[in-house]
């Protein structure tokens, strides 16, 4: 026995206590991965290996390995908090100028004054990903585009109805009057938009004509009112039939005529500064005429008012989806993940960050939920994977190891004192 073994044991136990203490101190650090002290024995060898001693000379710390096991996921109130469930790391950059990639699992993000997604826990690092419309390439700093969606003028109105074949036909001599329900059979309504996003209420009216021919066919005339103005033509002005629908004896729609709203007929109702698409087509595809009550089966149009960004969310596949005041959604970018063949080869930098090394392997960038990459969970964070109970037990064991090694030094000291006392 010599002092060497005991001294190396003290150093190893002290290193182990340092690692355990660091684990315990970071038990509440989001995304932190605990470390484990790994030891190796030591032997003294001669130059030509002919004088190997079977007695070791102590212990050395071979490695301090981080354990990249999954931490628990805890919900939060911040919509930009992101937890990784599975493999992968966030890629971040120190600044917009210094884009050297760094990696981490801490997902406590927020927006800076310029709309960039940053992480104060990572020393303000910028979250990297793919810009809106991109699905690959080098990640760039993600910035939330807060610009409004422009208005889209209506070009098509799509209506699908069932017209009741049992209703009484409107006499051909009857002049349509939107305020007189005896001059039409049924009506439907839809809101359309001009180039500025101004809304207009379009009410369409259906007037049945008497069936003709053998087998009989039935024609329905369509009139329209925009806001409070009935569409007219001619001098003097007369109600304008915007089109007709013809049904056969089986109730199927066989032909249509007209069914458009031209800018000429809409000119009296358009609001200052706005224009309509010319013409606005009205489609009644799929409409029927049967012996059952009138029903509006579907009603839509392809225009929309301008919209401002009201909120955004992050899907499990990393897509950042913006929600706008006009009920539209838009992709604002994609959060990517990066994985390594050997995550234990990453070099810790502090501030919950790691740097790639040759031992980690080449970084593999991809979209969450694909391949070996994990999924993202918004409004949540990944807790530290430190098991406090296990660490406290490890601390007791390391303390006992330290005490035991100190005893070997004490015994060696006693032996030396005995030798010196010999006469």
Residue 217 confidence class, pLDDT cut points 50, 70, 90: very high
Residue burial 279-288, b: 16+ Cβ < 10 Å; e: rest: bbebebeebb
Closest CA to 70 of 400, 397, 381, 396: 381
Residue 421 confidence class, pLDDT cut points 50, 70, 90: confident
φ/ψ (deg, to 5) at 83? -110, 140
- The pLDDT of residue 15 is above 90: yes
CB-CB contact of 323 with 317 (8 Å): no
- The pLDDT of residue 50 is above 60: no
User: Peptide bond preceding 406: is omega within 30 degrees of 0, i.e. cis?
Assistant: no
CB-CB contact of 173 with 163 (8 Å): no
Model pLDDT, residue 53: 62
φ/ψ (deg, to 5) at 151? -70, 150
Model pLDDT, residue 84: 97
Model pLDDT, residue 1: 53
Model pLDDT, residue 9: 85
CB-CB contact of 333 with 131 (8 Å): yes
- Over residues 384-398, the mean pLDDT reads 94
Cβ neighbours of 302 (radius 10 Å): 16
- The pLDDT of residue 47 is above 60: no
Supply the mean pLDDT for the chain.
92
Model pLDDT, residue 212: 94
The tens digit of pLDDT for each residue in 150-199 reads 999 999 999 999 999 999 999 999 999 999 999 999 999 999 999 999 99
CA dist., res. 416 & res. 6, Å (int): 15
The tens digit of pLDDT for each residue in 53-65 reads 677 788 888 899 8
Model pLDDT, residue 51: 55
Cβ neighbours of 69 (radius 10 Å): 9
Residue 42 confidence class, pLDDT cut points 50, 70, 90: confident
pTM of the model: 0.79
Place of tokens 């993202």: 376
Tokens for 35? 């470390």
The tens digit of pLDDT for each residue in 302-315 reads 999 999 999 999 99
Residue 358 confidence class, pLDDT cut points 50, 70, 90: very high
- The pLDDT of residue 267 is above 90: no
- The pLDDT of residue 45 is above 70: no
Q: List domains and CATH numbers for the chain.
A: 3-69+385-421 (no CATH), 83-144+314-340+347-372 (no CATH), 156-301 (2.60.98.20)
- The pLDDT of residue 385 is above 90: yes
Model pLDDT, residue 334: 97
The tens digit of pLDDT for each residue in 114-141 reads 999 999 999 999 999 999 989 888 999 9
């Amino acid at each position: 026995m010599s002092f060497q073994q005991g001294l190396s044991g003290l150093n190893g136990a002290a290193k182990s206590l340092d690692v355990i203490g660091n684990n315990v101190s970071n038990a509440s650090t989001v995304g932190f991965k605990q470390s484990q002290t790994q030891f190796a024995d030591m032997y003294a060898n001669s130059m030509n290996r002919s004088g190997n001693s079977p007695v070791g000379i102590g212990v050395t710390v071979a490695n301090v390995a981080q354990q990249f096991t999954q931490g628990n996921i805890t919900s939060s109130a911040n919509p930009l908090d992101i937890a990784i469930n599975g493999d992968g790391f966030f890629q971040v950059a120190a600044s917009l100028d210094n884009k050297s990639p760094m990696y981490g699992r801490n997902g406590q993000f927020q927006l800076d004054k310029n709309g960039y997604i940053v992480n104060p826990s990572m020393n303000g690092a910028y979250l990297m990903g793919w810009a809106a419309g991109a699905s690959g390439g080098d990640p760039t700093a993600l910035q939330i585009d807060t610009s409004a969606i422009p208005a889209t003028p209506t070009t098509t109105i799509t209506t699908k109805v069932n017209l009741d074949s049992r209703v009484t036909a409107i006499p051909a001599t009857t002049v349509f009057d939107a305020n007189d329900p005896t001059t039409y059979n049924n009506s439907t309504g839809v809101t359309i938009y001009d180039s500025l996003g101004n809304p207009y209420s379009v009410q369409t009216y259906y007037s049945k004509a008497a069936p003709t021919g053998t087998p009989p066919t039935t024609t329905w005339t369509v009139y329209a009112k925009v806001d409070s103005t009935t569409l007219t033509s001619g001098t003097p002005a007369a109600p304008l039939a915007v089109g007709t629908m013809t049904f056969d004896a089986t109730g199927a729609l066989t032909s249509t005529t007209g069914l458009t709203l031209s800018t000429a007929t809409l000119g009296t109702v358009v609001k200052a500064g706005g224009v309509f698409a010319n013409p606005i087509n009205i489609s009644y595809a799929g409409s029927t005429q049967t012996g059952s009550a009138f029903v509006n089966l579907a009603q839509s149009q392809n225009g929309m008012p301008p919209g401002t960004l009201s909120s955004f969310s992050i899907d499990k596949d990393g897509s950042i989806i913006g929600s706008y005041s006009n009920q539209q959604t838009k992709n604002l970018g994609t959060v990517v993940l990066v994985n390594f063949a050997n995550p234990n080869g990453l070099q810790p930098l502090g501030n919950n960050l790691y740097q790639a090394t040759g031992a980690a392997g080449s970084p593999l960038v991809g979209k969450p939920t694909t391949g070996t990459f994990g999924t993202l969970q918004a409004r949540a964070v990944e807790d530290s994977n430190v098991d406090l109970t296990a660490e406290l037990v490890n601390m007791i064991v390391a303390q006992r190891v330290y005490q035991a090694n100190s005893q070997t030094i004490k015994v060696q000291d006693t032996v030396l004192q005995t030798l010196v006392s010999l006469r």
